[in-house]
A and B are shown apart, each in its own frame.
Chain A
Amino acid sequence: MASNNNIFDPVKNLKEIEEKFEMVQILNENGEIVNSDLDPQLSDEELVELMSRMVFTRILDQRSISLNRQGRLGFYAPTAGQEASQIASHFALEKEDFILPGYRDVPQIIWHGLPLSKAFLWSRGHFVGGQIPEGVNVFPPQIIIGAQYVQAAGVALGMQKRGKKAVAVTYTGDGGSSQGDFYEGINFAGAYKSPAIFIVQNNQFAISTPRESQTSATTIAQKGIAAGIPSIQVDGMDPLAVYVATRDARKRAVAGEGPSVIETVCYRYGPHTMAGDDPTRYRTTDTDTEWEKKDPVVRFRKYLEAKGLWNESKEAEVIEQAKEDIKAAIKEADGVEKQKVTDLISIMHTDELPYNLKEQYEIYKEKESK
C-alpha cells in the first residue's frame, strides 16, 4: 500500500539510499587510472614504498602458510588478496595513530612497528608476542569479532580528550558487521564525534557464510547511516582507492569532524584460517579466478611499470629481503625462552598479586626448580 503512495515510499527510499553507495575505484584491473579526480598524487617514492610493502606482505603470507604447514607457526589467518585493503589503508596513517586489529590484521601492526618475530610469537601462542614495544600504537590482534570496534570508540574518545591530532583505526570483516559491538562501536564514536576510522574488509565470506547471508543491505558501508556517520564503499583490491578513502577519513577525524566507516570490497585467496578450513567446500574455482583478475598486487605492478617505477629486478629485491627478514624473525622467535607458569602468573596483575596467585606462584616455582 505504502509503496504506491507518492509521498511516502519506503522501498524507493531504500533504493535511493543504496544507490549512493556505489563502489569507488581509482585504479582498474589493468592498472589504469579511471578516476583521475581522486588520484592521491603520491610521490614516486611513496608509490614504490607502497608497492614494496604489498609485495612483502604477499610473500609474508606465502611463507606464513608454509611455516604453519611445517608446524613452525600456529594460528594463522591468510591475507593474500587483501594487500590493498590492509596495506594501503595503513599507508594513510601516522605513527601517532592507534590500530586495533582483528585476527587477520597482523600485517598492519607489523608495518606500524610490531617486530616480525613478535608477530610470529603471537601466532605460536607466546606472551612475548603480545608485548607491544613502547611507542608502537597498536593492540594485539583481537579474536572476539566486534570487540575491537567498541574499544576503538574508547581509544578515539581518549585521543579527543588528550587533544591529540591522531585517530583510532580498527578493522573487521563482512561477517563482523553483523555483531552488536560493530553497531555500538560506530554509534558511540558518532555520538562523541571522536576520531575513529572503522574499516570493514568485505572479503565476501565469513568462513563459509557468504556476505549475502549476513544482511539484506546491499552494501556494508550504508550501515554507517545507522550511526549517522559518513561512510564509503571502495574497491578493496585497488590500493589507491583504499588509500584515498582512509586519508580523507583521517583528515576529517583529526579536524574534529568525527568517525567514518570504510567498506573495502576485497577477497581472500586462501582459507579462512590454517586450522583446517577448506574453501573448496563453499567457493567455486570460477569465483577464485574472477577475483584473481582483480589482484591488487598485479594491478599496482602494471600501474607502476607503466610509470617506469617498477620492474622485475626491483620486485625480486623486495622478495629476497622479505624472505631474509622472515627467516631472521623465525630464528629470533625460536630463541625466545619457553613460557613457565610463573611467567603467566607474573603478568596477571600490575599491583601486588592476590593471595591465591601468590600461593600458586610458590607452588609452580618449586615445580619449575626441579
Chain B
Amino acid sequence: MAQMTMIQAITDALRCELKEDENVLVFGEDVGVNGGVFRATEGLQKEFGVDRVFDTPLAESGIGGLAIGLSLQGFRPVPEIQFFGFVYEVMDSISGQMARMKYRTGGAFNAPVTIRSPFGGGVHTPEMHSDSLEGLVASQPGLKVVIPCTPYDAKGLLISSIRDNDPVIFLEHLKLYRSFREEVPEESYTIPLGKADVKREGTDLSIFAYGAMVHESLKAAEELEKEGHSVEVVDLRTVQPLDIETIIASVEKTNRAIVVQEAQKQAGIAANVVTEITERAILSLEAPVLRVTAPDTIYSYPQAEAVWLPNYKDVMATAKKVLTF
C-alpha cells in the first residue's frame, strides 16, 4: 500500500497495464517526454519506450482516428484528450466511429480504446477546459463512461477500462487530481465498470453523485447528520451504464433521493437517474427526486466559478427540501 493522489493512482494504473499487456499504447499531446500537462504519464515513456508512450501532432480528431486504426491492428490504445472541452474536435471518431465499430462490422472488429481526459471546475482554468460534457458521450450507444472520485477508485476503474474490449471514456476531475491522498494497493486490481459505490450509509435520504460532487455530497451529509438526518451517499463511478441495482436498493431503503452533478441542469446525466428511479421505484418515494446542478448557462467565467458551481450548501438546501417535502 502507498499513499497516492488520484493522479499518481492513474499513472500507476497506466504503468500496471503497460507492463501487463504489450498491446497497450499511451499517446496524446505532450504525454511522452513531458509526462503530460498534469504529470499523469510521468516517467512512462522513459520506462516503456517511445514505441509504447508517444506524443502526437496537435489534432484531436487525428488522435481519435489513430486510436481506431491501431485497434484494427490489434493494439489496445489509451489516448489522451488534453481537456475534455476539446472533445468536439473528435466527436466523430468517438461517437461516429469507435462506439459503432463492433456493431457496424457485425462483431468482426472491436475498438478496445480507453480515452482519458481531464475536466471539471474549481481551479480557474481558461475557457473550454472545465466543461462537464459526460452527458454527450453517455448518450451514445456503444460507449461506457467512467468518472472516478478517489485515488483507489481511479486505479481500479482505469485498469478495468483499459481491459474492457470496447471503448471507454475515462474522465478525470481536475480538482480531484491532487486534492487528497489515499491508501492505494501497489499491485494491480480492478473495480467492475457499471458498479456504483456506497460511500456513506444512511437511512433518510439517498444522494446520487459523481466526480467532485461526491465530496460535496459527503460534506453535506456530515452537516445534515449534525441536524439529525441520516444520509446515504452513492458514488455512481460509472455514469453509463448506471448501476440500477444499487441505485434502486438505496431508494427503496431511504424513500427519498436527490441527484447531484456539476454539469448544467440540461446536461450531465442526472435526468437519466431521476427517470430510472421514477420508472422503477416510484412507489417507494415519499418525495419527488430533485436535482442539484449548475445553471443552464455556458460554463462560468473563471472568476464566477464560486457562485456558479454547485457545492455542499446547494446539496444541503436541496436535501432539506426533499427531507421536508
Contact = CB atoms under 8 A, between A and B. Distances in A.
B61 A150 contact: yes
A150 B65 contact: yes
B192 to A, nearest CB: 10
A159 interface: yes
A186 to B, nearest CB: 10
A347 B69 contact: no
Interface stretch (B13-21, B36-44, B96-104, B207-215): B96-104
Contact of A354 (B59, B66, B70, B241): B241
Given A130-B105, A154-B67, A350 B166 contact: yes
Interface string B61-94: 1101111111111110000000000000000110
Contacts of A349: 102, 142, 165-166
A168 B243 CA distance: 41
B276 to A, nearest CB: 9
Interface residues of B, number: 46
Given A147-B96, A188-B59, A156 B194 contact: no
B107 interface: yes
Interface string A179-200: 0110011011001000000000
B244 interface: yes
Interface string B153-164: 000000000001
A188 B57 contact: yes
B239 to A, nearest CB: 12
A151 to B, nearest CB: 5
Contacts of B70: 154-155, 157-158, 161
B61 A153 contact: no
A283 B74 CA distance: 45
A248 B283 CA distance: 71
Given A185-B62, A354-B144, A355-B241, A347 B68 contact: no
Interface string A119-130: 000000001111
A180 B165 CA distance: 29
Contacts of B108: 130-132, 134
Interface in B101-143: 102-110, 112, 141-142
A157 B69 contact: yes
A154 B194 contact: no
Interface string A134-147: 10000110001001
A259 to B, nearest CB: 13
A158 B92 contact: no
A15 interface: no
Given A130-B108, A151-B97, A154-B65, A161 B241 contact: no
A98 interface: yes
Contact of A355 (B71, B74, B97, B194): B194
Contact of A350 (B25, B51, B64, B102): B102
B102 A155 contact: no
Contacts of B190: none
B56 interface: yes
A180 B61 contact: yes
A370 interface: no
Contacts of A185: 62, 65
A344 interface: yes
A168 to B, nearest CB: 7
Given A130-B104, A132-B108, A187-B57, A144 B97 contact: yes
Contacts of B62: 150, 153, 181, 184-185, 187-188
A132 B105 contact: yes
B69 A155 contact: yes
A127 B103 contact: yes
A154 B68 contact: yes
Contacts of B194: 354-355
A354 B241 CA distance: 6
Contact of B93 (A127, A150, A355): A150
A347 B72 contact: no
A131 B97 contact: no
A300 interface: no
Contact of B106 (A127, A184, A187): A127
- Pairs of residues from A and B, 6 with the lowest C-beta to C-beta distance, nearest first: A154-B69, A150-B65, A158-B73, A354-B241, A350-B165, A184-B62
Interface of A: 98, 127-132, 134, 139-140, 144, 147, 149-159, 161-162, 168, 180-181, 184-185, 187-188, 191, 344, 346-351, 354-356
Given A127-B106, A158-B70, 17 more contacts: A131-B106, A139-B72, A147-B93, A149-B65, A153-B62, A154-B67, A154-B68, A154-B69, A154-B70, A159-B73, A161-B51, A161-B73, A168-B69, A348-B103, A348-B141, A350-B166, A355-B244
11 contacts: A128-B106, A132-B105, A144-B97, A147-B97, A154-B71, A158-B70, A188-B66, A349-B166, A350-B110, A354-B240, A354-B241
